[in-house]
């Protein structure tokens, strides 16, 4: 280990999130490039660094810093450099020179003890003198607070966030109620706050702890898709989390209600506890759906005449249910169109579009994911976009005209006569609320989806609840059309959905079942298919072939599969940069997926010469891309998503990415792939159900291969158990109907 002392010259790069910094340290021996994690260092500061010299293949010799101490500048040159470096706002090089010339070695003592004397220097008023003193003092206070927080096992990155939020109140907050951190600081969950509280000595049955634990349990339930929890379930779950028996639940829940964090409501299953935000999202969504359901005044015979004319002109043949769906979309302000694969949903949508177009009406098409929107565009010939893009994701959610991160809202609604949304089963409650907020009553809204697919990844069960409410027109298409009927993928999907056994004789051209009973053998077969057989068979790149599995953990879970598939499908290569981050290895050429909505991430589309042709913000849960570049110097990973959108992630932000050679069936929603491989061995009964299998099968466009146990496959068809979601949108909708 080496120890060097000097002052910070030029800061080359700094990541504000994790404090990772590259800078030049200057001393009598010259200049050395230093890298490491630092909080709040400024050019001009005097540092004592401990670390070891490493040789970077591009940037040469660097000091990799393991620890550092901020030192008071000792000589006059250092003091002057520090003050004039920008470390103290409003003090430039010239003013710093005058201060040091006046007070010499006494400069810092004067600033700390007699700051009013700074006014003796030309160019400094009494007010400015006070400001300078406050800044110097604050830096001192901040360092003390950071050291205090680190005593409780808080990382420097998190400590910086906490100090920025609370300032000098941090001591009081931690001593009185550290659970506040979970409410106020992003990145601090209940568990972190609980650890801090335990170290401070707060009792396990304290009111603060129980309240915070109850609210945390509700938030976790939202992550599982629930909008509320029945009181009994909440007590049981929170009791398990806290390790205490909760005696007086109603008192704590009432306290949370008074703080406007929760809403308590009587329901069919007893008392329900909602996180307040989601209760009002559901209530407002129900109200807005109700307001859109306006009947059209056009006589029915006129509708029929005009529709027949469109059918003749466009040479479209509709069956009775498709015809009914189009008529219902003309009649009503809101229509739900549902049906499985191959039942003619696309033809029906196309006819609606042609009809409304012939009436001179403006139409907008959207879907929840980029892939689904692209498919919609290809199928209709009209431009479709993601719902997020339709609503115009805002770069800066703090802007006053932005609501919920979108520029399109009640004040700035969408300008259209008809809006058609596809893949509605994927739309969660927050996104539905944002969409409806931007739709004016009088606009026709057509919701298209397959209600038998898995529910949305996010909270709620929107499509199912709208249908269950029985308050809006719903048309269900059931007939499989001849062309689709030639596909065993489509035929078998419908058999699965109906609970009928599927014949696995491998006489099919697009539905294959390879019986294997060992996990490693299954993985070996999958790799062989991806590398050799399937690309030629379906006319696609190996990267377009998707492995899908029901679980994250286990021998055939996403995590293990990705590690193995990465090794074979994108092996180590001296030409490919790679980086291990938090125990996960990323390599150039890796297939990756965004696993949470990030409305702030900027993307751009460039030509091969680097000219920007499009740019925007927002990358969303389920978006898939390829790692194009890993830059160890700037600590960035560049990912290219669909349509050439390139996004740069700092190394600290890659928790939003994971390898996507294999994905869960849940994450596949809204996407189609030329070929899909499903490894299948015994798993949890609650998860291995008909609903999941049906969703997985319908993701394959040209070829589906299941490798594994035929017993498990047939059992899944018979297993109708699916995890019920605690939602009440259907009830809220009925309440509005009954008020009329």
Strand locations in 516-635 (E): 545-549, 578-581, 584-587, 591-594, 598-606, 612-619, 624-631
Give the global pTM: 0.75
Assign 9 to helix, strand or coil. strand
- Measured between alpha carbons, how far is 206 from 116 in angstroms, rounded to an integer? 47
- Asked if 545 and 663 count as a contact pair (C-beta separation under 8 A), the reply is no
| pLDDT for res 401 | 44
Assign 517 to helix, strand or coil. coil
The DSSP bridge pattern shows strands 673-680 and 700-708 to be: parallel
| Ranges of H-type helices in 391-529 | 429-437, 462-468, 482-485, 488-498, 519-528
| pLDDT for res 440 | 94
| pLDDT for res 599 | 76
In the sheet that 646-650 helps form, which strands lie side by side, from edge to edge? 612-619, 598-606, 646-650, 636-641, 624-631, 591-594, 657-659
Q: Which residues of the chain fall short of a pLDDT of 50?
A: 396-402
List 267's β-bridge partners, or say none: 270
- Measured between alpha carbons, how far is 614 from 603 in angstroms, rounded to an integer? 9
Q: What average pLDDT does the structure give for the chain?
A: 86
| pLDDT for res 683 | 86
For the record, the structure tokens of 680 come out as 């299948």
Task: Look up residue 266 and give its DSSP letter.
Answer: E
- Per-residue pLDDT of 385-407, as tens digits, reads 989 889 987 754 434 344 567 88
Q: Which of 26, 27, 37 is nearest to 66 (CA)?
A: 37
Residue 426 CA from chain centroid, whole number: 14
User: What number of CA atoms fall less than 13 Å from residue 343's CA on the CB side?
Assistant: 22
Query: How long a stretch of residues is the chain?
Result: 740
Residue found by looking up tokens 């939602």 in the block = 727
Burial (CB < 10 A; 0-12, 13-18, 19+), residue 78, is: buried
- Per-residue pLDDT of 615-627, as tens digits, reads 888 888 788 899 9
- Measured between alpha carbons, how far is 338 from 348 in angstroms, rounded to an integer? 11
CA distances from 123 to 82, 84, 91, 133, 269 (A): 19, 14, 10, 15, 72
For the record, the structure tokens of 358 come out as 């012939």
Q: Which of 481, 466, 502, 450 is nearest to 340 (CA)?
A: 450
The b/e string for 521-551 (b: 16+ C-beta within 10 A; e otherwise) is ebbebbbebbeeebbebbebebbbbbbbbbb
In the sheet that 270-275 helps form, which strands lie side by side, from edge to edge? 229-230, 270-275, 262-267
């Amino acid at each position: 280990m080496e120890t060097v002392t000097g002052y910070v010259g030029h800061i080359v790069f700094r990541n504000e999130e994790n404090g990772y910094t590259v800078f030049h340290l200057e001393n009598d021996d010259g200049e050395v490039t230093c890298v490491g994690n630092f909080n709040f260092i400024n050019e001009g500061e005097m540092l004592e660094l401990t670390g070891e010299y490493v040789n970077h293949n591009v940037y040469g010799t660097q000091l990799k810093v393991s620890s550092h101490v901020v030192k008071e500048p000792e000589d006059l040159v250092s003091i002057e450099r520090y003050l004039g470096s920008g470390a103290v706002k409003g003090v430039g090089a010239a003013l710093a020179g005058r201060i040091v010339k006046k007070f010499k070695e006494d400069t810092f003592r004067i600033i700390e003890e007699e700051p009013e004397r700074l006014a003796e220097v030309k160019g400094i008023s009494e007010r400015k003198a006070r400001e300078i003193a406050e800044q110097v003092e604050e830096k001192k206070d901040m360092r003390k607070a950071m050291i205090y927080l680190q005593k409780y096992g808080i990382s420097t990155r998190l400590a910086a966030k906490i100090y920025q939020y609370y300032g000098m109140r941090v001591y009081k907050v931690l001593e009185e109620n550290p659970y506040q951190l979970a409410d106020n600081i992003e990145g601090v969950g209940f568990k972190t706050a609980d650890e801090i509280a335990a170290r401070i000595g707060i009792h396990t049955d304290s009111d603060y702890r129980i309240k915070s634990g109850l609210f945390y349990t509700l938030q976790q339930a939202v992550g599982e898709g629930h909008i509320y929890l029945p009181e009994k379930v909440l007590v049981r779950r929170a009791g398990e989390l806290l390790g205490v028996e909760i005696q007086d639940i109603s008192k704590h829940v009432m306290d949370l209600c008074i703080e406007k964090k929760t809403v308590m409501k009587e329901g069919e299953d007893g008392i329900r506890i909602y996180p307040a935000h989601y209760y009002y999202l559901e209530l407002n969504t129900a109200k807005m759906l109700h307001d859109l359901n306006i009947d059209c005044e056009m006589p029915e015979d006129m509708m029929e005449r005009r529709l027949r004319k469109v059918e003749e002109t466009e040479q479209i043949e509709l069956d009775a249910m498709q015809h009914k769906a189009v008529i219902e979309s003309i009649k009503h302000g809101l229509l739900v169109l549902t049906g499985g694969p191959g039942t003619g949903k696309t033809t029906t949508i196309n006819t609606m579009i042609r009809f409304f177009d012939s009436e001179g009406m403006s139409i907008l098409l959207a879907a929840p994911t980029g892939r689904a929107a692209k498919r919609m565009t290809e199928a209709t010939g009209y431009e479709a976009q993601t719902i997020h893009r339709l609503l115009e994701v805002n770069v800066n959610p703090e802007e006053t005209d932005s609501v919920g991160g979108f520029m399109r809202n009640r004040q700035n609604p969408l300008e259209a006569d008809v809006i058609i949304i596809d893949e509605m089963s994927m739309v969660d409650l927050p996104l539905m609320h944002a969409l409806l907020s931007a739709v004016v009553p009088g606009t026709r809204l057509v919701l298209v989806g397959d209600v038998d697919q898995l529910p949305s990844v996010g909270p709620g069960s929107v499509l199912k609840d709208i249908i269950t409410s029985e308050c809006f027109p719903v048309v269900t298409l059931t007939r499989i059309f001849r062309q689709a009927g030639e596909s065993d993928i489509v035929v078998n999907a419908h058999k699965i959905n109906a609970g009928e056994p599927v014949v696995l004789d491998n006489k099919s051209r697009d539905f294959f079942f390879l019986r294997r009973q060992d996990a490693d053998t299954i993985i070996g077969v999958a790799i062989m298919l991806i590398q050799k057989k399937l690309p030629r068979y379906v006319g696609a790149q190996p990267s377009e072939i998707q492995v899908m599995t029901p679980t994250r953990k286990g021998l055939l879970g996403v995590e293990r599969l990705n590690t193995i598939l990465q090794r074979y499908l994108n092996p180590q290569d001296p030409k490919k940069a790679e980086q291990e981050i938090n125990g996960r290895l990323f390599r150039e050429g890796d297939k990756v997926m965004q696993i949470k909505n990030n409305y702030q991430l900027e993307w751009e589309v460039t030509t091969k010469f680097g000219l920007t042709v499009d740019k925007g913000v927002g990358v969303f849960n389920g978006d898939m891309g390829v790692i194009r570049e890993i830059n160890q110097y700037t600590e960035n990973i560049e990912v290219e998503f669909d349509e050439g959108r390139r996004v740069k992630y700092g190394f600290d932000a890659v928790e939003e990415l994971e390898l996507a050679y294999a994905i869960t069936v849940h994450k596949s929603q809204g996407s189609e792939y030329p070929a899909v491989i499903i490894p299948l061995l015994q798993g949890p009964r609650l998860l291995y159900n008909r609903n999941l299998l049906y969703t997985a099968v319908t993701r394959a466009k040209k070829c589906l291969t299941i490798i594994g146990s035929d017993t498990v496959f047939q059992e899944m068809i018979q297993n109708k158990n699916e995890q019920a979601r605690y939602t009440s949108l259907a009830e809220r909708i009925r309440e509005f109907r009954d008020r009329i």
